[in-house]
Structure 1
């Protein structure tokens, strides 16, 4: 019973920590509205009234993760930062905090697996093995979730890029400057790409060169090949003084051709993928219906 109490206590503590970290942004919009309605003095008081996760749990998770990541090679840290950027989480999570959350989930699943197999009176070695399996599963779950998030973000960018590029082309050819056209896109469109373009505009307004802001956009979204080609063409056109409108129109045509080719490629793969359910599920059923009665009659005749 004491072991069960310890496991449940640790389980509750870790769950509370993870929930507190994930809920750090709740109520942010309401606080901003209150801050706009009140004066600067009230804003300072509101900043002092931070939640428990912001004042205690998040710093503890950060310190815990910082000590663990000090032992991690620099190359792996850069890879983790790139993955967070590709998933759109670089502004919400630091590399050390994400690593700490990964270890917290691993320890949580390790204790859960160990506690479950302790309650069913399995050998101690089996408990240790299942605890290690739980630790590995908990360590790999955030990795796969991050990959899925990055893939989803990449698909959304590739899906919305042609429409946004058409609007950008029309705006530039109508006489707007490139920055004004980006602002028009950010106002009219919604989604990941519109938010990225709005971030580029904010960096340009803060005094950063347009080329560097666009290159950072590429670094944050490396998996999106079409976006990377577009930004590379825009940077080259800016360096050589080429008309941006013509470049945008050519890129729009090329991107739509690539998307059409991707759709055709998926359509060509469909028959091959359909062979598996056909061979293992449909064909056996057809054989049973067609050959079954004849086989029964042949067996009766042979008796």
Structure 2
């Protein structure tokens, strides 16, 4: 590998440029996430939800969104349509992963298209830089695998991000219910309870605080409680949030006590969280048995059987040789 880098300066330059791009992209996204979290925390603490359509947005994130929007519009203006035939299902997946921009499905289609074309071209460039001459069958297989990777990598990334986001929201939801129960029993309305709970949970559970902040924004913009709660359930993508929204809507329609409803559902959510923790604890022995059987058991068998094998060899080999 070192000889390859010394013989081909193009490869060395490409590797250095790739490392620089990775470091720069990591620093940029880390700074953007830190700035967005700081802005979200400041708005929730100050209670300022009036002039900002999205909780957690910042000037940098807005400039980035405008740049992506201009890129998508420019490509579609050139004659390439980025509208997917499964636009509704793709939009639901993107919303569940936290990408709520209107142009997100078109940008997702553009990224998949770039990866499907770009990865095979990158393979060709690497083969040309290394002066490799693989067979036609091997070249075809490598190009097909690269194209399939470019097609499915965005979907895998989207599913992983949605699962991680839902898990963060679900883990903090019982605590949010307890705080909301305290607020409602203290005499606050649902609007004030959502705002207060979102403010209190900015540091511990920022994902959930963003959801509550978005509900406050929609309620102050004139949406009904039912519509705002259902939109929160759609954005979160978690069954617990959807059940919570349905429960509050039914309680408000039937005229039942919201405090009693929250108390019962909070106890149920705490029980579910405890059961999930117990389930993970019970899975540990099964997961540990795989490395134990695969790694430690052969070593133990070898240690226990080696003395017996040595004795057998010492007693049998001389007799076989006639000694």
User: CA separation in 2, counterparts of 1:162 and 1:193?
Assistant: 11
Q: 2:313 aligns with which of 277, 299, 302?
A: 299
Question: What corresponds to 1:112 in structure 2?
Answer: 122
The equivalences for 1:28-107 within 5 A come to: 54=66, 58-64=69-75, 67-70=80-83, 72-73=84-85, 76-91=86-101, 94-107=104-117
Deviations 1:112-149 (A, max 9, x none): 11222343122345334322221111121111111110
Structure possessing the higher relative contact order (Cα contacts under 8 Å, 6 or more residues apart): 2
Question: What corresponds to 1:238 in structure 2?
Answer: 252
User: CA separation in 2, counterparts of 1:53 and 1:111?
Assistant: 28
Q: 2:272 aligns with which of 247, 250, 258?
A: 258
Deviation at 1:262, TM superposition (A): 1.4
Deviation at 1:102, TM superposition (A): 1.7
Q: What SS is found at the alignment partner of 1:228?
A: helix
User: Unaligned stretches of 5+ in structure 1?
Assistant: 33-46
Q: 1:149 aligns with which of 136, 158, 161?
A: 161
Deviation at 1:106, TM superposition (A): 2.3
Deviations 1:22-45 (A, max 9, x none): 97x96998xx9xxxxxxxxxxxxx
What TM-score comes out, normalization by structure 2 length?
A: 0.73
After TM superposition, the structure 1 stretch with the greater mean CA deviation from structure 2, 279-288 or 269-278, is 269-278
Contact 1:172 1:178 in 2 (8 A): yes
Question: What corresponds to 2:53 in structure 1?
Answer: none
Deviation at 1:268, TM superposition (A): 2.1
Deviation at 1:269, TM superposition (A): 2.0
User: CA separation in 2, counterparts of 1:233 and 1:53?
Assistant: 35
Contact 1:62 1:100 in 2 (8 A): no
User: Unaligned stretches of 5+ in structure 2?
Assistant: 1-9, 40-58, 318-323
Change (3 A) 1:261 1:26: closer
What TM-score comes out, normalization by structure 1 length?
A: 0.78
Change (3 A) 1:58 1:174: closer
The equivalences for 1:165-176 within 5 A come to: 165-176=177-188
